[in-house]
Amino acid sequence: MRTWGKGGFDRFARNKKFRNNLLQAIPFWVASLLTGLVAVLYARLFSLAEKGTSAIIHGHVWWLFIVSPVCFVIAWWLVRRFAPYSRGSGIPQVIAAIELATPRHNDKVKKLLSLRVLLVKILSSLTMVLGGGVIGREGPTIQIAGSIFRKVNEWLPSWWPKISKRNMIMTGAAAGLAAAFNTPLGGVVFAVEELTKTHISYFKTALFTAVIIAGLTTQALLGPYLYLGYPDVSHLSPYIFFAVVIVAIPAGLGGSIMSKYMLKILRWKAGFRWTRQHLLYTIGCALLIASLAVFVNEKVLGSGKELMTTALFTHDKSTVWYMPLLRMIGPVFSFTTGAAGGVFAPALSAGASMGSLISGWMHCSDTSSNLLVLAGMVAFLTGVTRTPFTSAILVLEMTDRHNVILHLMLAGMVASLVSMLIDKHSFYDHLKFQYMRELIREENKPPSDPPPLPAMESH
């Protein structure tokens, strides 16, 4: 009869542990691969939609007054009819899902993250941007990735080693951001700074692996691109730090003020009781944005990436005085329609316009202007998200300009401090609490009551 010694038991225990670790890792790998593929497809479709808008502007500009209202209404209707929690950015929904990720709240999480939400998110945001909506795809990509990771976890058979739903969703969000911007380090920092207060040691291996696989999948299909490119920020004056602070203060305040007005409008819209009120508001927003594009400046439309690249890679560094206002008005009246669409890219473009404007006023050199554009991007995004390190790392990875990391971090920290003068909480925090309150109200609603119209966000 064969007997086992201590060494045999140790080998058996190690093999069993290795098997469990491998089985737990496989779902993260599969979900990360799927996230990278979907993110690439979404990015290409989003780019085609923006080109469609550009074709209308340069070919048949007056058609914008028909196309914009039709697209805005369809985008709003898709969300309202099929997946109310696919509206807006998607980041607050993911944060709420992470906090609710327990068996007791499984039905609530399903309303926030699902394949239905994923599909509606993509269709609504693409329709919105085709109509000239001032939105981005980065926040939606995060909710899409969270939905993929949650679904993969749900598909696991009962005998599979259990995986924390919270860690799965959190890792998916980080992988989504990494795939959207091609910023793997930004994805990791975002997970730690924005998504959770949990110590990173509990999920660090899964997080790093997911970000790497999603990023490599994106690079395999799109190439090792940078979201913006390589702006020249060499030969900077040692006094440029003062200029960075001068840009960071209004940019940080601008991001926070824009968020505040979005919340006020959403709170006002929460009082709408009739579908026609939402419909009229959506059409009004579309006509307003179309009018600004036709009669003021077409750069009000879209995510604003072209505005950023123009400021960074041409000699046309300065911009008109009203461009920051346009880039703030656009997201306010696009996001508050209730359609799907993010604020990451619009916030970056608004910050870039502020940096460009102030650098023109200060008669800065081209390289100093480039730095102030990047500082404005970090500061404005921080004003919205209150995540200075994530904002700085994202812009750093988008441009591969490591020599200005301290300048970007300074911009983020200054913006974070001044934003507190407007609101102590971030835009995403307010929306997260609102989504959670809506879910609780739906759960506690007596079944005899008539089904309510999907509620809009409020403060």
Identity at 178, one-letter amino acid code: A
Question: Which tens digits make up the pLDDT trace of 331-355?
Answer: 999 999 999 998 989 999 999 999 9
Instruction: Quote the pLDDT of residue 164.
Output: 80
The pLDDT of 246-271, averaged and rounded, is 95
d(CA 348, CA 255): 10
Which H, E and C letters describe 340-372, residue by residue?
ECECHHHHHHHHHHHHHHHHHHCCCCHHHHHHH
Cα-based distances in Å from 387 to 41, 195, 282, 303, 339: 28, 10, 30, 20, 25
**Which helix H or strand E contains 55, and what residues bound it?**
helix 6-59
Question: Which tens digits make up the pLDDT trace of 279-327?
Answer: 999 999 999 999 999 999 999 998 888 899 998 998 888 889 999 999 9
Q: How confident is the model at residue 45 (pLDDT cuts 50, 70, 90)?
A: very high
Handedness of CA 18, 35, 431, 204 (dihedral sign): positive
Assess whether pLDDT exceeds 80 at residue 100: yes
pTM: 0.87
Question: Which tens digits make up the pLDDT trace of 107-140?
Answer: 889 999 999 999 999 999 999 999 999 998 988 9
Identity at 312, one-letter amino acid code: L
Instruction: Give the residue from 385, 448, 386 showing the smallest Cα distance to 89.
Output: 385
Q: What is the CATH number that goes with domain 240-432?
A: 1.10.3080.10
Instruction: Quote the pLDDT of residue 190.
Output: 80
What percent of the chain is modeled with pLDDT above 90? 50
Listed by start position, the domains of the chain span: 23-222, 240-432
Question: Which tens digits make up the pLDDT trace of 376-424?
Answer: 999 999 999 998 988 999 899 888 888 898 999 999 999 999 999 999 8
State the CATH architecture for 23-222: Orthogonal Bundle (1.10)
Higher-scoring residue by pLDDT: 292, 99? 292
Say whether 240-432 and 23-222 share the same fold.
Answer: yes
The pLDDT of 423-432, averaged and rounded, is 89
Identity at 251, one-letter amino acid code: A
Instruction: Quote the pLDDT of residue 327.
Output: 95
By the 8 A CB rule, do 381 and 428 touch? no
Q: What are phi and psi of 5, to 5 degrees?
A: -95, -175
**Number of neighbours of residue 443 by Cβ within 10 angstroms:** 10
Q: Where are the alpha helices (DSSP H) in 60-90?
A: 64-82
